[in-house]
Amino acid sequence: MAKVRQQQQELEKKLAQVDEGYSNFNQIIKKINSAVNQTQKERFEGELKKEIKKLQRTRESLRNYESQDPRNKSRITEARKKIEELMETHKQLEKESKTKAFSKEGLLIAPKVDPIEEEREELREMIKALQGAFQDKINIREAELEKSRGSKLRAGITEDISKQIKNLRYHFEKLEQVLRFVENNPATLEQIWPLTDKLDSYLKAEDTSDFEAELEQRYKELSLPTNRIFTNFPALNEEDMEAQRKTVGKKPETKTIASVPTKNDVKPVEKGWNTKEALMKIAGKTEKTFEDLPDDEQEVEKIDTDWSKKQVEIAFNYPLRNEERVKSSLQMVLTPYTGHPSFPKKPMINHALFKKFELDTLFFIFYHQHGSYQQFLAAKELKAKGWIYHKKFQTWFQRSGDPKLTAQDREKGTFLYFDYETSWSQRRKADFEFEYSFLENDLL
């Protein structure tokens, strides 16, 4: 009876090991998928391999219990199936990791693309193509406007072209807002396609007046601000422009001439010539104030609080991805702040000072001042202290004793290495094989 009880306890331990191993396996898989670089990924894959070997040994033990304990046969069979599923997953993962990215097999593998991301990318390309087309049309219209300004008979045509340019620029700016909308609203991308089709038709049409109202409605549906700011500046003809060029270069006189005697009681000039007023007089027109404008032109841009609130919520729900963030870098302050006398006021670029730094300081400079001269000096000093850099693992190593095995292209033995990712400390690695092909040798 005691033997049966002991056997039952051992079986329960084995089944608990299966559940624990299953949980650990899935956690390591998540770590592999979220690894930031190849070094981390390879380390997690090594942990996964150890975990699957433990589960395989447990699976062999469960086979013996299956024949000895028919009462728990279903539980044992279920545990074995769990392990076999994990073994199959590991086998597939190992196959993917061993497939080289640029081999024939790797090139044949279709990249995994999220359908929403794929649609978003198509929309980005479509919007950028439309922006290019709008910009081309703006350039063409501006060239036509420049030609038409030389003829007084084409004043009506000039006004029409100016209006077209204003509308084209307006829709070009709207495309910028639509592009931001695409980035922040992946769930409503289907609303963009009708708008892009309508803008494409707008570009091809001769008469675009029928499109304006519908496009404004489309912008409103996307919660984009649709109010325009209307301006009414008088158009200058060729003579006005020539007069403007002559007068702009003149320097206004601002000094009084009270001390100089004048003839015929001529009063001295007391204030300078107002260039803006002079230009408006040359044009024969005065600048219209807001009150002078017709009611249909007295439209100003208003802040839509509901729209602003919605955009803030969208920004919180869709934060920037890592690749979209601008990484900060250490800055060199040209006029340093006044601080404690012991604190250095200028960047330390003297190699002699680096000989006094502790290892922890040198490692900090190396890993946190990328691309700087200080990083180079720190690396040079670490090498002088007997540390060697492994390019594959991006880690500094130091020999701890004589190597056990020495070959032309490698050596094997006990090494110290600096763990900069997890513990920020020195650790020991026994029976480590250092391949010289990964040795960084370009520092000296």
**One domain, residues 122 and 215:** yes
**Domain assignment of residue 39, yes or no:** yes
**One domain, residues 93 and 120:** no
Residues 359 and 356: their CA atoms lie apart, in Å, by 10
**One domain, residues 164 and 122:** yes
Residues 190 and 177: their CA atoms lie apart, in Å, by 16
Q: Look at residues 165, 197, 221 and tell me which one is the last residue of a structural domain.
A: 221
> Tokens representing 75?
């539980």
Residues 156 and 206: their CA atoms lie apart, in Å, by 17
Residues 421 and 359: their CA atoms lie apart, in Å, by 16
Q: Look at residues 221, 251, 275 and tell me which one is the last residue of a structural domain.
A: 221
* Half-sphere exposure in the Cβ direction for 138 (13 Å, CA): 15
The pLDDT of residue 226 is above 50: yes
The pLDDT of residue 305 is above 50: yes
The pLDDT of residue 332 is above 50: no
The pLDDT of residue 395 is above 90: yes
pLDDT in tens, 114-169: 677 777 888 888 888 898 889 988 988 888 888 777 665 566 778 888 888 898 99
What CATH number is given to the structural domain containing 420? 2.30.30.1020
Residues 226 and 216: their CA atoms lie apart, in Å, by 6
434 bridge partner residues = 411
Contact 379, 371 (CB under 8 A): no
The pLDDT of residue 392 is above 60: yes
**Domain assignment of residue 370, yes or no:** yes
**One domain, residues 78 and 119:** no
Q: Identify which of 198, 202, 204 has the alpha carbon closest to the alpha carbon of residue 221.
A: 198
What CATH number is given to the structural domain containing 80? 1.20.58
Residues 228 and 297: their CA atoms lie apart, in Å, by 10
**Domain assignment of residue 230, yes or no:** no
**Domain assignment of residue 52, yes or no:** yes
**One domain, residues 59 and 131:** no
The pLDDT of residue 328 is above 50: no
**One domain, residues 95 and 133:** no
**One domain, residues 57 and 152:** no
* Half-sphere exposure in the Cβ direction for 285 (13 Å, CA): 11
Q: Which residue has the tokens 């919660």?
A: 223
With residue 175 as reference, give the H or E element that holds it: helix 155-184
**Domain assignment of residue 342, yes or no:** no
* Half-sphere exposure in the Cβ direction for 218 (13 Å, CA): 21
Q: Identify which of 86, 80, 85 has the alpha carbon closest to the alpha carbon of residue 29.
A: 86
Least-confidence region, from 131-145, 171-185, 324-338, 430-444: 324-338
What 3-state DSSP class applies to 414? Answer: strand
**One domain, residues 392 and 422:** yes
Residues 6+ apart with CB under 8 A from 75: 15
The pLDDT of residue 248 is above 60: no
Contact 407, 434 (CB under 8 A): no
Across the range 351-365, mean pLDDT stands at 89
Contact 65, 75 (CB under 8 A): no
Q: How confident is the model at residue 397 (pLDDT cuts 50, 70, 90)?
A: very high
CA distances from 409 to 48, 62, 436 (A): 29, 44, 5
**One domain, residues 421 and 382:** yes
Least-confidence region, from 37-41, 89-93, 387-391: 37-41
Number of domains forming the structure of the chain: 3
Across the range 360-367, mean pLDDT stands at 92
- For the chain, the average pLDDT equals 74
pLDDT in tens, 68-100: 666 777 888 888 888 888 888 888 888 877 765
Domain extent for 379: 351-438
**Domain assignment of residue 206, yes or no:** yes
**One domain, residues 86 and 150:** no
The pLDDT of residue 322 is above 60: no
Backbone angles phi, psi at 390, to 5 degrees: -95, 115
Residues 6+ apart with CB under 8 A from 255: none
In this prediction, residue 432 carries a pLDDT of 92
253: DSSP letter: P
What 3-state DSSP class applies to 12? Answer: helix
The pLDDT of residue 230 is above 60: no
**One domain, residues 148 and 92:** no
**Domain assignment of residue 378, yes or no:** yes
Q: Look at residues 99, 123, 143 and tell me which one is the last residue of a structural domain.
A: 99
**One domain, residues 88 and 122:** no
**Domain assignment of residue 30, yes or no:** yes
